[in-house]
């Protein structure tokens, strides 16, 4: 029989006003993720302005490969968060403890593996993407340096996931603010003042991530709550590892599949040269900021649904899911409108050359009107993950965002070899995944509520 300890009210999402709780949980996440986006965006802004278009293209071309390499482990970490939130909502503290320490052991092993694979395979992967020779040396430098800091990045995301799973989104925000400031200062010092090149921008990011990881670990080790971490307890426990992998592997595989598709898209963008790479890369950085509110509602939704289903509150989980989806769509389209209007000015922040502006604005204005479809798909995926149905999300994303996107891009680029043919792949595949999730919504009893009982 597990012991029960009453937590602070702020850590449980199983009672109280739903909308207020979701917003209160999401807002610190939003601010935190804004600062986290400063990592790569600061790299791009400073590199683009100090080192030029080819250096910016080198940073941009590395982005999708980085997401490919780290996406799997972040997905598994997200699965652990679902397990922790479910046990925490049910007040099964021994299982919370076992899951936390098993996940930290997994993170250490994953970080070491990611470092070895990322550093070793860098040139091969970049060449497979068709990275232009003029950009390749700088891309290799940025990519390899970034992955030397893999263990800090993986462990930070795991620690942040633990805190979020128990309802603490405030402390990760504080740590991100500090480390993001460090990152920007180091970028300016390494690149702008010392002129150390593209690799030093990645070094600044790695150092900043290390700071975040250390601060999160200190918080967990000195907490007086049920989720306190003890270094001597870090190790693998069979049941906890099985639960983590059952919930996390589908998300990890989904992240990898989506990243593979985006690598194929990036390879097609690379075929149009450094200016197209820089323009589309600038849009990717802007999109990263634009989608932060959606990402934050997704995180809140996953935690909210998982805790409430763990506590047997299906009605509350259903209401929270609907509120979260509506908020995500509304925010996504509001931000999309602003980006569409100010697109030339936003792209020019990274590179103001005419050719880069032309590619970047065209790519951006083709994609952003359809942000609502992407927001809906991500929100539904988060809901299903919170309900322990990560495989459902994985299959939808794998089929629509890889199985459809890759042949679509390949065919369209062959039939009409212009960048627009590549750009439209995103809204097209977002619409496919949205239709799939609508179909699944009406086949999920707890989401349908009374209608399901009447059927």
pLDDT value of residue 33: 67
Most confident of 295-299, 308-312, 339-343: 339-343
3: pLDDT strictly greater than 50: no
* pLDDT tens digits, 181-203: 888 889 889 888 888 888 888 88
pLDDT tens digits for range 132-185: 777 788 888 888 888 888 888 888 888 887 887 777 777 877 887 888 888 888
Grade residue 272 by pLDDT with cuts at 50, 70 and 90: confident
User: What's the rounded Cα separation, in Å, for the pair 349 and 301?
Assistant: 33
Q: How far is CA 330 from CA 244, 324, 336, 383, 445, in A?
A: 33, 10, 10, 17, 26
Do 158 and 77 contact (CB within 8 A), yes or no?
Answer: yes
342-387 pLDDT tens trace: 999 998 888 788 888 999 899 999 999 999 999 999 999 989 988 8
Q: What is the mean pLDDT of residues 36-43?
A: 65
Tokens of 100: 């936390």
Per-residue H/E/C for 50-119: HHCHHHHHHHHHHHHHHHHHHHHHHHHHHHHHHHHHHHHHCCCHHHHHHHHHHHHHHHHHHHHHHHHHHH
What's the pTM value of the predicted model, to 2 decimals?
A: 0.67
Q: How long a stretch of residues is the chain?
A: 455
pLDDT digits 0-9 by tens, 50-106: 777 777 777 766 666 676 666 777 777 777 777 887 888 778 888 888 989 998 998
Is the backbone of residue 449 left (phi > 0), alpha (psi -120 to 50) or beta? left
pLDDT in tens, 410-436: 888 888 888 888 889 999 999 999 999
Mean pLDDT, residues 382-406? 85
State the DSSP string of 168-205: --HHHHHHHHHHHHHHHHHHIIIIIIS---HHHHHHHH
Alpha carbon separation from 338 to 11, 286, 341 (Å, rounded): 35, 11, 5
What pLDDT band is residue 454 in, cutting at 50, 70 and 90? very low
| Residue range 304-334, pLDDT digits in tens | 888 888 878 888 888 888 888 998 899 899 9
The tens digit of pLDDT for each residue in 231-241 reads 889 999 999 88
């Amino acid at each position: 029989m597990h012991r029960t300890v009453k937590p602070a009210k702020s850590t449980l999402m199983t009672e109280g006003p739903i909308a207020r709780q979701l917003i209160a949980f999401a807002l610190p996440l939003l601010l935190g993720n804004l600062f986290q986006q400063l990592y790569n965006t600061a790299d791009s802004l400073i590199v683009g302005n100090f080192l030029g278009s080819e250096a910016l293209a080198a940073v941009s071309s590395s982005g999708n490969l980085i997401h490919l390499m780290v996406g799997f482990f972040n997905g598994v970490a997200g699965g652990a968060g679902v397990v922790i939130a479910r046990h925490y909502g049910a007040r099964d503290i021994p299982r919370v403890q076992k899951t936390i320490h098993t996940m930290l052991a997994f993170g250490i092993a994953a970080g070491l593996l990611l470092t070895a694979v990322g550093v070793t395979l860098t040139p091969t992967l970049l060449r497979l993407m068709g990275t232009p020779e003029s950009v390749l040396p700088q891309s290799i430098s940025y990519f390899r340096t970034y992955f030397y800091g893999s263990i800090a990045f993986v462990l930070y995301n795991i620690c942040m996931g633990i805190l979020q799973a128990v309802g603490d989104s405030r402390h990760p925000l504080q740590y991100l603010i500090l480390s993001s400031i460090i990152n920007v200062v180091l970028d300016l010092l390494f690149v702008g003042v010392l002129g150390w090149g593209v690799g030093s921008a990645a070094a600044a990011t790695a150092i900043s991530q290390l700071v975040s990881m250390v601060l999160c670990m200190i918080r967990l080790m000195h907490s007086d709550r049920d989720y306190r971490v003890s270094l001597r307890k870090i190790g693998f426990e069979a049941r906890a590892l099985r639960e983590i992998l059952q919930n996390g592997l589908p998300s990890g595989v989904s992240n990898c599949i989506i990243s593979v598709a985006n690598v194929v898209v990036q390879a097609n963008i690379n075929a149009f040269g450094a200016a197209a790479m820089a323009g589309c890369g600038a849009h990717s950085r802007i999109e990263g900021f634009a989608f932060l509110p959606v990402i934050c509602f997704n995180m809140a939704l996953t935690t909210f649904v998982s805790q409430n289903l763990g506590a047997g509150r299906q009605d509350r989980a259903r209401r929270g899911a609907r509120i979260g989806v509506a908020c995500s769509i509304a925010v996504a389209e509001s931000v999309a409108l602003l980006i569409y209007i100010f697109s030339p000015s936003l792209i020019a922040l990274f590179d103001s050359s005419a050719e880069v502006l032309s590619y970047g604005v065209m790519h951006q204005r083709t994609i952003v009107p359809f942000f609502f479809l992407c927001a809906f798909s991500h929100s539904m995926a988060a809901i299903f993950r919170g309900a322990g149905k990560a495989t459902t999300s994985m299959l939808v994303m794998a089929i629509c965002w890889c199985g459809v996107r890759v042949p679509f891009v390949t065919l369209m680029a062959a039939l009409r070899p212009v960048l627009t043919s590549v750009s439209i792949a995103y809204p097209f595949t977002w619409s496919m995944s949205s239709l799939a999730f609508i179909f699944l919504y009406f086949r999920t009893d707890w989401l349908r509520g009374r209608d399901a009982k009447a059927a």
